[in-house]
Chains A and B, each alone.
Chain A
Amino acid sequence: MASGLGADLRKLLAAGRVMDSLEERILYAYDGTSQKALPDAVVLADSSSEVSAVLKYAVARGIPVVPRGAGTGLSGGSVPARGGIALSLAAMDRIKEIDAENMVAVVEPGVITGRLQSRVAEAGMYYPPDPSSLGYCTIGGNIAENAGGPHCIKYGVTKDYVMGLEVVLPNGDIVRLGGKQVKNVTGYNLVQFFVGSEGTLGVITEATLKLIPRPRTVKTMLAIFERLDDAAESVTGILQAGVTPASLELMDQRSIHCVEDFLHLGLPRDAEAILLIEADGMPEAVESEAKAIAEVCQRMNVRSFTTAANAQEAEVLWQARRAISPAISKLRPSKIGEDICVPRSRVPEMIRRVQRIADEYQLPIVIFGHAGDGNLHPNILTDRRDKQEMVRVEQAIAAIFAAATDLGGTLSGEHGIGLTKKPFLSLDLPPEAIRLMQDLKRAADPQGILNPGKIFGGE
């Protein structure tokens, strides 16, 4: 790569914003997948004009630019696969406005999702998308990956909250799209064009986000089932009973065992599934919803059903779900978290297929996830240093993707395709769709400098 890259960038940007020592390049080589590729230089941007200056410089020279929020993604999306400039937006973290009248927030991309949620809550409102990394991931990354989370069954995913964007195009142009207006059909829906684009179409430098009224109360319930099918039928039964729970989380038997080995909470080891269910809204509605949920679970042979009386008890119920990650890290040094999504009715079949895959490839795989929307996270526990085992891991991943698409599902519910899933893209998308996507990519980024090597290229 151009040896004068760092020097050139230093001329364009304020002091201290450009780093190119080997140490710094190592520090911006990874994301939450442990995939690594060294950038040639790192830029910590502080404004859209700085982002624009970097892109204008890069596009003229064909240098790759890889935008990055907090680098917590789970598909290799912010890994600089072809070198170039790692463009961190983490320092652009101002909450510019919380507009209570129009119920929107205007934020910079580096704002931490959880921080926005608490600021919004202080103003009596709610920003629902809640990826489990919400304490440290950024809004910009959430938008680029169209992140989800447990509460998306009722409230939708990130895309449902993006009303407007400021985006810097690969040629350096700064465009503002959408805004505070609730309805807007003027021209193509370019706001959504950039949502979930994984940093390949433009760099998000500001977002206008929809806020909703904060639910007055939340009730948390834990249901333990002896049979997986009963748990799955409860999920569909609850929705058919006219209740949309705020969250509907599932843990399979291996997750239960992992947590039990680690925390000794007294969860029954012979139970095949646990559902963690939340109802939220107006107090009276929550009461009757909780009652309906309990009835459905009773009808489906629930073995035990616990309702938290207060926030403290709710925290105890969440303990098992939250303990999965620490628990599995005790078992094996590495974990590879997948993110398939199948139609809700196929959840039990999907879980059984993953369990068969686990047996076939002799790998511990725990499954948990958002049963309410069919989004499951099979986590393969492994040791990345064991080359032989990693071959089996790769085979198991391919088998999981094949099973998901076979059941009418998709490769990724909320993590994105990035690097890790791109070899499987054609399992999920017909060639015509891939071609259209690539045409759109070329239209937005003719030189192909933005986050090259992602999404496409492996099929």
Chain B
Amino acid sequence: MTLVVADELRKGNRLALSRVLSQVEAGSPAGERALDKLFPFTGKAHKIGITGPPGSGKSTLVNAFARAFRALPHHPRVAIIAVDPTSPFSGGAILGDRVRMLDLQQDTGVFIRSMATRGALGGLSNRTEALSQVFDSAGYAYILIETVGAGQSEVDIVNLAHTTIVVDTPGMGDDIQSIKAGILEIADILVINKADRPGADQSVRYLQNMIEMGYRSNIQRAGKHALLDVSGDPQTDLPQGWLPPVIKTVATEFEGVEAVLQAILRHGSFLRESDLWRAKDEKALRDTMRKMILSGLVDTWREQVSTVLIEEHIRAVVERNESPGAAVRALLSYNQNVKPFSSE
């Protein structure tokens, strides 16, 4: 049944695609089997992350980028994964990014899927990567991934995306904010949106200065610790790398969008030519497998240790009869005495 659905999805059946996305997001056995079957067809899509503070205009920009991609001569198909936070109290979520993407609604070459974080930190859901694989296998050439409104530490998107776009607005922070903010270091392209507001040029200058400083120190560390894989240029003996451009946009007016589109395409070419594309792909897959191993171990352990036993240890810790460390060591070693998969 599932395998038929996976075939339908590859043929362009959008209802089949939507159902597989739900199964995969839920982590159901059917979803896992579909992913097993679809995975060989992945690895082609250009995944683009869009992150930045709440209210900086991420959704409106994503809408504009999708339109710009669709206007390219070969009209590539575009998928959008829009992530919004799950309420920690109810487990529910309001996913409202589509409100800013209404002009894509009539274009069947664009598929928008909203997703809740479902308890994950880091600005994405634990299943965002898996959903991007489904879109990739279905032949979507560009996948735009919009994170939740990020502060300074929600940087999971770099592990997933080939190109990370950080969006900010004029006057959001001075240069000290820019130095300490982790999200500046992750940017391949920086966008100052709402650039018709006062202070846009000043923000661009601040950011350009910060980037150039970071770029030089990256070069000095090149070959050993640099995040950027800079390779030597025989002509000048200066390393070649990617200097993130800072681009002003007014997304609601479509201003500056074409410049960002060209930067995305240039960055894609840069990654492919420098072999960083393959390196990023491997890094993303390593990261995915690491997370799957961790959650798989937790699930297996949870199946083998009774809730009663866990509660006994928690009581002992609360009563100060046992330290948290001793309790955890006991609970983890308990598992080793139990044969896995024993049905008796």
Does chain A bind chain B? no
- A residues near B (Cβ < 8 Å) are none
- B residues near A (Cβ < 8 Å) are none
